[in-house]
Structure 1
């Protein structure tokens, strides 16, 4: 594994999102002195927070999967996730609602899910679900150590027994077809394949290997932190500060000073920070601009679809909603063509509706509710550009509310007391390439050793982390990216992995970031309303 040579005593981490905080904790655990620089006034990055009128809106991810990976980041400094956060397992993980009026509660416990599948689709698909679950587990085991949790220096690293094992499992076939070998009901196939959208691909074009995302959602378990997902980066930042990290909030990085191929200092709009190494977590265009170079690729990077998100604080809710509800439109294949090829807004939208106050009522005033409505949309490379969204945004908001009312959320428009609409134009203002928070798509040529690497030729002591680099998009993989970045700097040192956590054992102390850890914080709004994102 290629590692940073020379001194690495003091590392500056640019960005206090989940990737940067993960890197900071693993670096601290390996004995490095760490300074974290963040342009916003609080940690979180894409996992941010908007507060309006007593409503607390998570701006990015809405759940935590693979909590053991999160626990490892705390364990890196001898800390405990359970002492910092209370994670509540969600049962069901989510509810799927279909255009024909049917619903399916998706459980991660096998017996409960088998009973639900039999009720929904019959005994044959219930048996198929059992086989599908075993396949997902085997697929995860084949990929995790060799293809996900690893630093690639060459595609030749793929030539290992696990590659043959992945091929034998059908990982290089098409996702939709492989899922169809286990369950025949078309609605069930959607439940176990829609996750490919996170990777920027339709199920008919995605490799079956991407079913590992469905494993995380439908097998490993889905959790929600008390205090919202934004409580996670706050807890990580607290742990890092307690372990000795220094945080500089409200500082925008403007330049990287270098001598030859080494970065010698990180310069912000307020100060100069000498360093021995640097971890860069901004989106790739920002990172490459700071480095003054980018890797040579035969083809331009292709980005994932974007999303419109309506954060709504309401004076009522609707009994048909679970914590997470996926409302599928009747169209399916056409939806993916619109999102990834033609660049049209969905004519028959499939929507994610999240009601976090189902699990944590404290996120809204008494008797009120928070609803998060995510509508996938084309990114600005192939769909409406940022200027077009200025007029399109309000019209699309009205279309969404009309469609939600038609799907059973009657009176939703009139129920809204506080809201924030986020469109691709907002993502673009946050320096997300192609106006998408989901970064570079996971096409075959942009996955594993073919994804933009976390080291850059021509710079000896800069390492990348975040969803644009290895291993990719999503909370679990972004946490891993921070660990992999730290390993590049400390020479492969990896803190011991703790045993798997047991559900319902966590305690809640997601306290505020200590003031002593913050330097140079400007006055003003705590969090810009447009500061939104998804890791």
Structure 2
């Protein structure tokens, strides 16, 4: 693995989201001096927080899996995740509701899930689930350390016996066909394949290897941190500060000061911060703009679909909703064609409804409830542009409420007393390419060693992290990206011991805000 040449004693991390905070903790554990620069007034990046009328709304990801990756970051400075974050395992992990009125609870416990599948679709499908579970577990074992948690310097590194094993396991077939080998019930096939949409590829075109996301959701378990998802980056920042990191909040990066092939300083609107190395976590276009150069690729990057998210504080809730409920429409393959090809809004949407107050009532005033409705939509490259979304947003919000009331959430519209609507126009305003928070799609040509590298040609001491680079989209992989960036800087990862040079916390809040120093 190629590491940065020259001195790397003081590292500036741009962005205090999951990627930046993961990088900071691993760098601190390896003895580096770390300064984290963040454009917002608080840590979190996309995992932010909006407070309205007593409702505490998470504005970013709502599904947390693979908490061992978080524990690894805390352990780099001698900490433990459980000492700082109260994680609650969700049972069920999801509830899947279908257009025919049926529903199935997705359990991570094998016996509970077998029983549920047998109830839902019969004993033959339960036996198929047992075989699917074994396959998903084997798939994860083949991929994690070799192909996901790894820095690639060349596609040649793929040539390993594990690649042959992955091919033999069917990892290079199509995801929908692979799931269909185990489950005949079309509804259950959806439960174990819809995750590919968040990687930007329909199940009919996604590699079967991406079933590893279903492993994370349906086998490794889904968790919720007490206090909301935003509680996790807050805890990470606190632990990093205690380990010696200095934080500059409200500090937008205006430029990188270059000397030859090295960055000598990061310049914000407040100060010039000299450095030996830089970890950049903003979305790729922003990072490349700061660097003043863009890598040459044979074809243009293709981006994932986007999402409209309605955060709603309500006076009531509905008993059929679990913490996470996937409400599937009747349409399936046609939906993906709309999202990725024609650029149309889903005519029969499948929606993710998250009710965090089912697990933590303190996120809303007494007797009130929070609901997040996520509707996948085309990104601004194939669908309506940001300007058009300024006109569409309110109408689409109303259409979603009508559809959800038709699906059984009667009185939803009139129960809303606080809300926040996020559309591709908002994602574009945050600096996300193609108006999507899900970055570059995980097509074959944008996966593994073919994904934008975390090293940038022509700049010796900069590493990229976040969902646009290795290994990709999602909270677990973004945490890994921070660790891989730290490994590029240090050549190793320190484990379990606090080796930071500064023993005192160094949180320094700047003034102002906005600009480009945001996080992934």
TM-score per shorter chain, which class? over 0.9
Q: Does 1:36 align with 2:36?
A: yes
Deviation at 1:63, TM superposition (A): 2.1
Q: Does 1:193 align with 2:183?
A: no
| C-alpha contact (below 8 Å) 1:448/1:471 kept by paired residues | yes
Aligned residue for 1:55? Answer: 55
| C-alpha contact (below 8 Å) 1:437/1:534 kept by paired residues | no
- Counterpart Cα distance in 2 of 1:469 and 1:407: 38
- Counterpart Cα distance in 2 of 1:256 and 1:343: 37
Deviation at 1:322, TM superposition (A): 0.2
Aligned residue for 1:416? Answer: 416
- Counterpart Cα distance in 2 of 1:359 and 1:515: 33
Aligned residue for 1:242? Answer: 242
Aligned residue for 1:280? Answer: 280
- Counterpart Cα distance in 2 of 1:439 and 1:229: 20
Aligned residue for 1:251? Answer: 251
Aligned residue for 1:313? Answer: 313
Deviation at 1:258, TM superposition (A): 1.1
Alignment TM-score, normalising by the size of structure 1: 0.94
Distance change in 2, residues 1:237/1:55 (3 Å):
same
- Counterpart Cα distance in 2 of 1:322 and 1:534: 30
Deviation at 1:494, TM superposition (A): 4.3
- Counterpart Cα distance in 2 of 1:519 and 1:219: 41
- Counterpart Cα distance in 2 of 1:44 and 1:444: 30
Aligned residue for 2:392? Answer: 392
Aligned residue for 1:518? Answer: 508
Aligned residue for 1:456? Answer: 456
Q: Residues 472-491 of structure 1 correspond to what in structure 2 (within 5 A)?
A: 472-491=472-491
Deviation at 1:263, TM superposition (A): 0.4
Aligned residue for 1:502? Answer: none
Once the two structures are superposed, what CA deviation does each residue of 1:110-154 show, in whole Å capped at 9, x if it has no partner? 000000000001100100000000000000000001100000000
Aligned residues: 512
Aligned residue for 1:500? Answer: none
| Structural RMSD (CA) | 1.5
- Counterpart Cα distance in 1 of 2:173 and 2:519: 28
- Counterpart Cα distance in 1 of 2:370 and 2:262: 47
Aligned residue for 1:152? Answer: 152
What 5-or-longer segments of structure 2 have no aligned partner?
A: 498-503
- Counterpart Cα distance in 1 of 2:381 and 2:186: 31
What 5-or-longer segments of structure 1 have no aligned partner?
A: 498-513
Q: Does 1:167 align with 2:157?
A: no
| C-alpha contact (below 8 Å) 2:438/2:473 kept by paired residues | yes
Q: Could you say what secondary structure the match of 1:388 adopts? A: helix
Aligned residue for 2:230? Answer: 230
Aligned residue for 2:300? Answer: 300
Deviation at 1:534, TM superposition (A): 10
Aligned residue for 1:27? Answer: 27
Alignment TM-score, normalising by the size of structure 2: 0.97
Deviation at 1:515, TM superposition (A): 9.8
- Counterpart Cα distance in 2 of 1:522 and 1:347: 42
Q: List structure 1 segments (4+ residues) > 3 angstroms apart after TM superposition.
A: none
